[in-house]
Amino acid sequence: MSTVSVSALDRLGRRFGYDERSAAVLIFPVFIVLLAVAIFPIVYSFYTSLFDINLTRPWRRPFVGFDNYLRIFADPNFWVAVQRTTVYTVVTVSVTTVLAVAVALLLNEAFPGRRLLAALVLLPWATPSIVNGLMWKWIYNPGYGLLNGLLVQIGLLDRYKVWLGDPDLTIFMIANAAVWKQMPLAAILILVTMKAIPEDLYKAAKVDGANVFRRFWHVTLPALKPGLMLVLVYETMISIRHFDLFLIMTQGGPGDASYTLSWQIFVETFRNLKFGIGAALSYILALATFGLSYVFIRALGSKL
């Protein structure tokens, strides 16, 4: 009998069971794509954040370790941005989620025209954020916008008003545009989860004599946790980093009314040409995003 050399693969194969190997094969494509496109930029960004880089001074790029981060925390603009971002994210995420649940409940019902309604609900999602920003900017226009026209005709307002340019309102007007666009996806995710709720749970509630609201609170809502988690994580992740709308609608203004963290990153990187600070800000934002997502996943994702 010839000596069969035991290959390394065989040895590995015996150490890792069928499960592990299958998992590795199944996950492999994802990591290839991510490695190529996402991992290098992420690592590069972190590396950049450790240097004091000013592109108008290309001959001097000292390594400063975490000094950039310290400078950011000492900068009052940063805290303004944190406040703006927090308000914006909280408003956007909460309103989107509540609306999404309401819409999902509505679409869950069987009634004539439901299919058409469901299709219409997808309209905002289909709108590119550029078009969305332009459209709402047009609607808010203080001179001939739809919002002004509508409110005046209904009689709620007696003269045309400045919406986007009023610093107390700016962030809410932008949030409104964001909610409008994001609600359909959230509603779909909730609806998909809702459809998967087993009938038995409802039967049990009926037997217990629960009314509409108690049934919703005790049966539907808890069973929606996976969907809610999805929605909360996704909405938070994107709202906290929203940039397109700010670019199109207000450019951080008026004053600093819409000066969010992602706007600050843009300004530092592309206008002030300070790549190091920009990268450091990004990492702070990334940490915040990750932290929030982790909290949501832990709280609502029972099996993860």
Partner 1 sequence: MTGSPNVSRRMLLGTALSAGAASMWATPTSLQAQSGGAVNFTAWSAAVDQVKSHISAFENASKLKVNYENFPWAQYRTSVVTRLVGNAPMDVLWISDAWLPEFAEAQWLANIDDIPELMKYNADAAPYCTQSMTYKGKQYGLSYYGDHMSFVYNTDILQRAGIDKPPATWDEVVRASLKIKQAGTVEYPLLLALGIDTWLVEFMSAMVFSNGGRFVDPQGAPLMAEPGRGAIETAAWIRDAIHTHKIVSPGAVETPEINSLKAFGAGQHAFYVSPTYRLRALNDPSQAAAAGKIRPALMPRGPKATASATCGWIRFYGMTPSAKANAARRANAAKFMEFFGGKDDSGTYRFQKLLVTDLGLPFCTMPLAADPDVKAFWDKWAGGGDVIAQQASSALKKDVIAPWFGEWNESASPAWQSVFLNKATPEAAMRAMATKWNELRKG
Partner 2 sequence: MSERSFLYRWQPLGRGVILALFSLLLVAYVAGPVAWLVSSSLQSEADITAVPPNWIPPKVMWGNFEAIFTAGQRTVTYENRYQGDPTAGRFLPSGAENLLPSVWNSFVVGLWVAVINLLVSITAAYAIAVIHFRGRQTALYSILITRVIPDIALIVPLFLVVRNLGLINTKLSLIITYLAVTLPFTIFILISYFEQIPRDLYRAARADGCSHWQALLHVYLPLSVPALIASLMFAFLTSWNEFIFALILTQNIDAQTLPIVISGFVMDFTTSFSFVNAAGVIAIVPPVVLAFLFEKYIVSGLTAGAVKG
Residues 178-237 that bind partner 2 (CB under 8 A): 180, 183-185, 188-189, 191-203, 206, 212, 215-216, 220, 226-227, 229-230, 233-234, 237
Give yes or no for residue 12 binding partner 2 (CB under 8 A): no
For the segment 148-207, give every residue that binds partner 1 (CB under 8 A): 162, 164-167
Piece in contact with partner 1 (CB under 8 A), picked from 25-33, 50-58, 84-92, 211-219:
50-58
* 253 contacts partner 1 (rule: CB under 8 A): yes
Does position 6 interact with partner 2 (CB under 8 A)? The reply is no
Residue 266 lies near partner 2 (rule: CB under 8 A)? yes
Q: Which does 192 bind (CB under 5 to 8 A by kind): partner 2, partner 1, none?
A: partner 2
Asked if 132 and 181 count as a contact pair (C-beta separation under 8 A), the reply is yes
Q: Which 47-66 residues touch partner 2, going by CB under 8 A?
A: 48
Residues 221 and 227 sit within 8 Å (Cβ to Cβ): no
Phi, psi of 233 (to 5 degrees): -65, -50
Tokens 């226009």 -> residue? 141
- Distance (Å) of CA 268 to CA 58, 70, 188, 198, 287: 16, 15, 37, 51, 19
Binders of partner 1 in range 123-142 (CB under 8 A): 141-142
Minimum distance from residue 277 beta carbon to partner 1 (Å) = 10
259, 77 Cβ separation under 8 angstroms: yes
Report the C-alpha gap between 59 and 56 in whole angstroms.
9
Distance, CA of 127 to CA of 301 (rounded, Å): 30
Helix (H) or strand (E) holding 172: helix 170-195
Nearer to partner 2, 91 or 191 (CB): 191
Write each residue from 141 to 180 as x if it is in contact with partner 2 (CB under 8 A), else as -, in one continuous string: --xxxx--x--xx------x-------------------x
Which residue's CB is nearer to partner 1, number 149 or number 165? 165
**Phi, psi angle pair for 64, to nearest 5°:** -125, 10
Please state, in angstroms and rounded to a whole number, the distance separating the CA atoms of residues 178 and 171.
10
Q: Whole-number minimum distance, CB 8 to partner 2, in Å?
A: 20
* Distance (Å, whole) CA 222 – CA 120: 28
Residue with tokens 């739809």, as numbered in its chain: 146
Residue ranges in 35-75 assigned as alpha helix (H): 40-48, 67-74
Per CB under 8 A, the list member of 64, 129, 161, 162 interacting with partner 2 is: 129
Which residues are near partner 1 by CB under 8 A? 54-58, 141-143, 162, 164-167, 247, 250-256, 259, 266-267, 270-275
